[in-house]
């Protein structure tokens, strides 16, 4: 009897009906891919900033407030990436739990600004995924075991990926481990894997570089004989093409920085993204 009563109480207290799937919103495509790998088909997942879009300067769509209002969990990167989010959260009147996926990461600073691109290190991606898994399991205990199993499978894939990056980067001669990218999105990649990135734009794409910034980069490319410049899938490529033309550095291809591509593109998942980037870097630098 006591057991029955307890079960009944638990049923009433449980915010989810057993048959109902957990509603989760992820702020942008890379986080959404992590969440999908943990939650699989046991969750309803909505992504706010979709493929090939710039999360730094997003303008919320009309339906976003409603999506957030219906969510149990809203998963964000944090570290200042989603400057547009606090207002959207407030206007939605959402009671969702906010999960900051980068909370367990040691942040890099550029001056007084935190660098938000922590996912560009695979060990950091591991931390993101583990924290997302814990949040999902706490919100939907009935699914916790399935989430744990799916997470383990995915973390094993990330470990393999991390080894691939290290092996690929080790093949690039040390003096060639320098490239130009559009904005400063690869600080964590540099810290983890030792390829130096120099960018005319800072850690956000919100501001335009000054003529002086561009001139400084051009001087640096010539002085240090930087072999390659890279485009980004989320940014306008005119600036980088101009820098390439003025310096003679070759355009090494496109790096995927802050957003996955669509299904038909080269990087519909995080793992595809990292593999695409190491291939672009090694084919431009590895000789």
Contact set with Zn ion (CB under 5 A): 185, 258
Neighbours of 282 (CB within 10 A): 17
Q: Identify which of residues 65 and 234 has a Cβ nearer to Zn ion in the complex.
A: 234
**Closest CB to Zn ion among 180 and 185?**
185
Contact 175, 24 (CB under 8 A): no
CB of 260 vs Zn ion, minimal distance in Å: 13
* C-beta of residue 114 within 8 angstroms of C-beta of residue 108: yes
- What minimum distance in Å lies between the beta carbon of 115 and Zn ion? 9
Minimum CB distance to Zn ion, residue 81 (Å): 7
DSSP 62: T
Q: Which two tokens stand for residue 62?
A: 């009309």
DSSP 111: T
Contact 74, 82 (CB under 8 A): no
In the complex, minimum distance from the CB of residue 185 to Zn ion, in angstroms, rounded to a whole number: 4
Nearer to Zn ion, 30 or 185 (CB): 185
Instruction: State in angstroms the smallest separation of the CB of 188 from Zn ion.
Output: 11
The minimum distance between CB 235 and Zn ion, in angstroms, equals: 9
CB 71 within 8 A of CB 24: yes
- CA nearest neighbour of 40 among 52, 20, 22: 22
Shortest reach from residue 116's CB to Zn ion, in Å: 7
The separation between CA 156 and the C-alpha centre of its own chain, rounded to angstroms, equals 19
Between 65 and 201, name the residue whose CB sits nearer to Zn ion.
201
Q: How far apart are CA 12 and CA 97, in angstroms?
A: 20
The string of DSSP codes covering 148-176 is HHHHHHHHHHHHHHHHHHHHHHHTS-GGG
Q: Which is nearer to Zn ion, 40 or 80 (CB)?
A: 80
Q: Which is nearer to Zn ion, 22 or 85 (CB)?
A: 85
* Least distance in angstroms from the C-beta of 55 to Zn ion: 7
Q: Which is nearer to Zn ion, 40 or 107 (CB)?
A: 107
Structure tokens at 113: 């600004």
Cα–Cα distance between 109 and 268 in angstroms, integer? 29
Our CB check for Zn ion shows the closer of 185 and 284 to be: 185
Q: Which residues contact 13 (CB under 8 A, 6 or more apart)?
A: none
Please give the structure tokens belonging to residue 206.
């919100």
How many residues does the structure list for the chain? 287
């Amino acid at each position: 009897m006591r057991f029955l009563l307890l079960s009944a109480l638990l049923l009433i207290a449980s915010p989810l009906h057993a048959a109902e799937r957990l509603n989760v919103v992820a702020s942008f495509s890379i986080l959404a891919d992590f969440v999908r790998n943990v939650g699989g088909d046991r969750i309803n997942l909505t992504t706010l900033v979709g493929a090939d879009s710039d999360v730094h300067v997003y303008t919320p769509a009309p339906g976003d407030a409603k999506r957030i209002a219906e969510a149990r969990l809203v998963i964000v990167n944090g570290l200042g990436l989603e400057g547009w989010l606090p207002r959207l959260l407030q206007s939605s009147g959402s009671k969702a739990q906010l999960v900051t996926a980068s909370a367990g990461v040691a942040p890099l600073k550029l001056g007084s600004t935190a660098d938000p691109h922590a996912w560009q290190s695979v060990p950091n991606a591991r931390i993101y995924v583990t924290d997302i898994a814990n949040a999902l399991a706490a919100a939907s205990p009935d699914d916790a075991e399935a989430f744990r199993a799916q997470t383990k499978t995915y973390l094993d894939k990330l470990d393999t990926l991390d080894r691939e990056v290290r092996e690929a980067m080790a093949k690039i001669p040390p003096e060639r481990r320098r490239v130009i990218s559009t904005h400063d999105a690869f600080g964590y990649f540099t810290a983890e894997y030792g390829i130096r990135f120099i960018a005319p734009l800072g850690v956000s794409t919100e501001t335009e570089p000054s003529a002086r910034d561009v001139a400084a980069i051009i001087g640096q490319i010539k002085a240090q004989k930087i072999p390659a410049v890279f485009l980004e899938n989320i940014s306008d490529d005119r600036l980088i093409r101009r820098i390439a033309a003025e310096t003679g550095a070759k355009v090494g291809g496109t790096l995927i920085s802050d957003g996955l591509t669509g299904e038909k593109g080269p990087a519909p998942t995080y793992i595809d993204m990292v593999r695409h980037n190491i291939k672009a870097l090694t084919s431009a630098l590895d000789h």
